[in-house]
Structure 1
Amino acid sequence: MATISLADVKALREQLGTGMVDTKNALVEADGDMEKAVEILRLKGAKGNAKRADRSTSEGLVAATQENGAATLIELACETDFVAKGEKFIALADKVLAASAAAGASTVEEALAAPADGKTVADVINDEAAILGEKIELRRIVRLTGDAFEIYLHKTSKDLPPQVGVVVAYTGSDAETARSIAQHISFADPQYLSRDDVPAEAVEKERAIVTEISKNEGKPEAALPKIVEGRVQAYFKQVALLEQDYAKDNKLSVAKVLADAGITVTGFARFKVGA
């Protein structure tokens, strides 16, 4: 039987991020063979993945990249903030992002099928989940095409990786304003680019709601149309980027800021971890 040294245990733990007891036991079972011990630990972790399938993943990070006329934004989720801020999870997110972007993936299914390290992204995620001992999932991905992009990743805590990610696709040359708009989006959370993009059924639903609210408030019947219309306009300012008041100067609309800067936003995406 091979002698298992503390150095061997430490080296394997640093490679895989596994616990002390599990690592030592795997080396003992493998009779000191490092490669076999890795297989044992991965197999043990893979069995655990099935048990973790129903667990919630409310932590994680967002990551983004741009290249060759496209930008990709992902949300990689895990169970705890302890794992989310670890080097291995962050490295995994970088690997998933790079593989997804290289494959031109625009859906989670396409991203999971993308090649990475001689396997698929899904396999890479499952392998790391087995080692880290938590459920890990690629929750969302978006791919934007355009002339220029601004990426803004926001940390809600200095101890955690970015929790809010924004990608803005635009035409124009004022990158500073484009970045400011990306920051605005991270704060204001618009759902659509313009009022024309808001689905008609969503507008009608809002109109019905504010009509009922206005009636319940006892507003005069004759004044209802004007009151309801005003509230519908307020709804557009809430959900449509171009209609919103600019976060850095609420006397200006985002549309006005963009026009003054000679910028046209052609698309955007915003992810917040767990939202």
Structure 2
Amino acid sequence: IRRIVVLTGSPVSLYLHKTSPDLPPQVGVLVQLKNAAVDAGRDIAQHIAAFAPKYLNRSAVPADEIEKERRLAEETARNEGKPEAAISKIIEGRVTGFVKEVALLEQAFAKDAKKTVQQIADEAKTAVNAFHRFRVGQ
């Protein structure tokens, strides 16, 4: 065992993902919700297993990662010869795209890409307080 988490104070949903029916689960997810929303909790846990977000929301993404992405986007835009007036919008667009990749609540929901994970939680009248994704060998 390399990692243990303790979640207290609110309901937790669990999802175990098998990559093969002959093998034990390779990915496990714990999702701590504000209140018991069994279906939404399971669906969000499945989403986490598939998309492996690193952070809960935009504010949880470290500022240095956002700044690194901002610098990379600016450098790329300048190397591509984009007009100076468009560079700031390009940077913001790429940073927003980056956040949507790494922040759970900003991601397009796996079962309905027209909605975000945040919208799914809102519809279930709950909130995601925390999540933990485990993979065999990590």
Regarding TM over 0.5, the answer is yes
What do residues 27-83 of structure 1 show as CA deviations (whole Å, max 9, x unaligned)? xxxxxxxxxxxxxxxxxxxxxxxxxxxxxxxxxxxxxxxxxxxxxxxxxxxxxxxxx
- Scaled by the length of structure 2, what TM-score is found? 0.94
Equivalent of 2:69, from 206, 219, 227? 206
Residues 36-185 of structure 1: pairs in structure 2 closer than 5 A: 138-185=1-48
Q: Separation in 1 of the partners of 2:52 and 2:111? A: 15
2:79 aligns with one of 196, 209, 216: 216
Which amino acid counterpart does residue 127 of structure 2 have in structure 1? Answer: T
In the alignment, the residues of structure 2 paired with residue 144 and residue 213 of structure 1 have an alpha-carbon distance, to the nearest angstrom, of 41
Q: 1:80 corresponds to which residue?
A: none
TM-score, length basis structure 1: 0.49
Aligned residue for 1:263? 126
The DSSP-based 3-state class of the residue aligned with 2:95 is: helix
- Where do 4+ consecutive residues of structure 1 move more than 6 Å? none
Superposition RMSD in Å: 1.2
Higher share in helix: 1
Q: How many residues align?
A: 138
In structure 2, stretches of 5+ residues that fail to align are none
Which secondary structure state, in structure 2, belongs to the residue aligned with residue 178 of structure 1?
Answer: helix
Deviation, 1:227, is 0.5
The sequence identity of aligned pairs, in percent, is 53
SS in 2 for 1:250: strand
Unaligned residue ranges in structure 1 (runs of 5+): 1-137
Aligned equivalents of 1:213, 1:237: Cα separation in 2: 19
Query: Which secondary structure does the structure 2 equivalent of 1:142 belong to?
Result: coil
Tell me the alpha carbon deviations over residues 219-244 of structure 1, each in whole angstroms, 9 at most, x when there is no partner.
Answer: 11210000110000001100111100
Offset of residue 173 of structure 1: 3.0
Contact 1:144 1:268 in 2 (8 A): no
Match of 1:192 in 2: 55
Q: Which amino acid aligns with 1:157?
A: S
Task: Name the CA distance, whole Å, in 2 between partners of 1:236 and 1:248.
Answer: 20
Cα pair 1:258 1:264 within 8 Å, conserved: yes
Q: Note the alpha carbon deviations across 1:80-123, whole angstroms, 9 max, x for none.
A: xxxxxxxxxxxxxxxxxxxxxxxxxxxxxxxxxxxxxxxxxxxx
CA distance in 1, matches of 2:3, 2:129: 21
Letter in 2 for 1:223: A
